[in-house]
Amino acid sequence: MEKIVIIGEEPLQGTIEISGSKNASLPLMAASILTDETIVLKNIPNLADIHTMASVLESLGVNCNKSDLINKNIIQLNYHGSDKALAEYDLVRKMRASILVLGPLLARKRKATVSMPGGCAIGARPVNIHVDALAKLGGEFNLEKGYIKCEAKSGLKGAKIELPMISVGATENIIMAASLAKGETEISNIATEPEIIDLIDCLKSMGAQIEVQSDRRVLIQGVESLNGTTHSVIPDRIEAGTYIIAGVITKGELQIKNVNFDHIANLLSVFENLELNITRENNNLIVKESSVSKNISLDTKEYPGFPTDLQAQIMVLLSLSKNASTIRENIFENRFMHVPELNRMGADININGSQATINPCNGFSGAQVMATDLRASVSLVLASLIAKGETTINRVYHLDRGYENLENKLAGCGANIKRIQ
């Protein structure tokens, strides 16, 4: 089992380039099922989750050419059709986002069998909203032995759909399916994350007729077929937020490149309230060590609110403040697993239901810690960078799911970080 060992308190000095967005790449890859032509995706991050999605797609008849992934971050996908429409448990259990093949398969094959993704560390994460919305387009569903079996014998038909709660994945699944349904689909209460807008931009470049309205509504005129395209993935706003926090809590100065400022406007306003030393220079961010004296009460929310995917990371930052802050986690029911590990490193964070109180602490000390999920594991890396002494982080496969070249990016700026078997 690989581990990461970090000796803390090294100043970070240098440039970090933000990679393409994992959460935009995954639905974009699933969209390859919607056409017989080739989809070329650029700025794809070389991450474990990308390889997992490629394996799921290969098992469904998509040819995934990854020969340019490592050195050029390009992947080419071509669905050559196959009567296989079964996404196996063994693949789906590794990554919940595999559920994103459901809508495209139903639209193209008029049938699909996808393993229930199952919960994961951060919560039960059901898929009822995906299923109910696709049923409104004509999908007939039943659950058998842990698999979602669905078919639409006479194809999908446009419908008026009101999503009962805002769901990123369900929004993506239903928009992809509706792109090839007969007639018009109107979906309300959609999620509006930049990753969804990136998917819509790509689908429109494939010939889909999609119009995003204000107030979380989208209108889709189904088309007969979609073409191939070449699309460049947006930068990863969660990775960007993570490295901004790294730059603020460590000594030194970081230049962060490839940032989409529109996508992190909400983050920058929270960081401004904390009076952190972050300035914009052309298209880059300059981030310097900041003394954190302010406190805030933060709610994680759907975009454009503060993202749940940065909740663990900002806890490390708020632990350094002279005043207590609170964070309420409103998206997932169990997303505080990083707290016991951070407290073992010296933090003083109390949990009361969905609310965390982050009290001032006397800094962090190195320890043996355990990663539990992707974003929790990177919060342990952040704490390790400023901890006194050595930290060993176990189960780093969580990190590899969402952070491309993490050690190299940090070591390249002077961090004392290495991966060991």
User: 355 or 365, CB closer to ligand EPZ?
Assistant: 355
Q: Contacting ligand EPZ (CB under 6 A), which of 198, 236, 239, 309?
A: 309
373 close to 122: Cβ distance less than 8 angstroms:
yes
Q: Contacting ligand EPZ (CB under 6 A), which of 46, 242, 250, 308?
A: 308
- Determine how many CB atoms are found less than 10 A away from the CB of residue 291: 12
User: 312 or 367, CB closer to ligand EPZ?
Assistant: 312
Q: Which residue has the tokens 């032509």?
A: 37
What are the DSSP E strand ranges found in 108-203?
111-115, 140-144, 147-151, 160-162, 184-188
60-72 burial code (b ≥16 CB/10 A, e <16): bbbebebeebeee
Report if residue 300 touches ligand EPZ, rule: CB under 6 A: no
User: 128 or 225, CB closer to ligand EPZ?
Assistant: 128
Rounded least distance, CB 300 to ligand EPZ, Å: 9
Report if residue 91 touches ligand EPZ, rule: CB under 6 A: no
User: 367 or 381, CB closer to ligand EPZ?
Assistant: 381
Helix (H) or strand (E) holding 418: strand 416-420
Report if residue 190 touches ligand EPZ, rule: CB under 6 A: no
Report if residue 177 touches ligand EPZ, rule: CB under 6 A: no
114 close to 158: Cβ distance less than 8 angstroms:
no
Q: Contacting ligand EPZ (CB under 6 A), which of 147, 243, 332, 364?
A: 332
Helix (H) or strand (E) holding 219: strand 217-221
Handedness of CA 15, 278, 197, 297 (dihedral sign): positive
Rounded least distance, CB 398 to ligand EPZ, Å: 10
Q: Contacting ligand EPZ (CB under 6 A), which of 170, 248, 264, 315?
A: 170
149 close to 134: Cβ distance less than 8 angstroms:
no
Give CA–CA dist 9/136, Å, rounded: 55
User: 50 or 374, CB closer to ligand EPZ?
Assistant: 374
Strand order in the sheet with 86-87: 86-87, 111-115, 147-151, 140-144
Q: Contacting ligand EPZ (CB under 6 A), which of 41, 53, 114, 168?
A: 168
Report if residue 305 touches ligand EPZ, rule: CB under 6 A: no
Report if residue 128 touches ligand EPZ, rule: CB under 6 A: yes
Which burial class, exposed, middle or buried, applies to 336 when counting CB atoms under 10 A from its CB (0-12, 13-18, 19+)? buried
Q: Contacting ligand EPZ (CB under 6 A), which of 109, 136, 375, 409?
A: 375
- Please give the C-alpha separations between residue 378 and each of 9, 347, 360, in angstroms, as whole numbers: 17, 15, 21
120 classed as catalytic: yes
User: 64 or 310, CB closer to ligand EPZ?
Assistant: 310
Choices 31-39, 120-128, 272-280, 349-357 (CB under 6 A): range interacting with ligand EPZ? 120-128
User: 46 or 308, CB closer to ligand EPZ?
Assistant: 308
Give CA–CA dist 403/400, Å, rounded: 6
Of 120, 150, 202, 361, the active-site residue reads 120
Q: Contacting ligand EPZ (CB under 6 A), which of 28, 33, 97, 178?
A: 97
Report if residue 338 touches ligand EPZ, rule: CB under 6 A: no
Cis link prior to 11 (omega < 30° from 0)?
no
Rounded least distance, CB 117 to ligand EPZ, Å: 8
Report if residue 130 touches ligand EPZ, rule: CB under 6 A: yes
Q: What are phi and psi of 217, to 5 degrees?
A: -120, 150
Site string for ligand EPZ, 47-76 (x = CB under 6 A): ------------------------------
Rounded least distance, CB 366 to ligand EPZ, Å: 25
Q: What are phi and psi of 70, to 5 degrees?
A: -70, -45
Q: β-pairing, 184-188 with 209-212?
A: unpaired
Rounded least distance, CB 173 to ligand EPZ, Å: 9
Which residues face 334 on adjacent strands?
none
User: 116 or 324, CB closer to ligand EPZ?
Assistant: 116
Give CA–CA dist 316/380, Å, rounded: 8
Q: Which residue is nearest to ligand EPZ (CB)?
A: 169
Tell me, by CB under 6 A, how many residues bind ligand EPZ. Answer: 24
Instruction: Report the catalytic residues.
Output: 120
Q: Which residues bind ligand EPZ (CB under 6 A)?
A: 23, 26, 96-97, 123, 125-130, 165, 167-170, 191, 308-309, 331-332, 374-375, 402
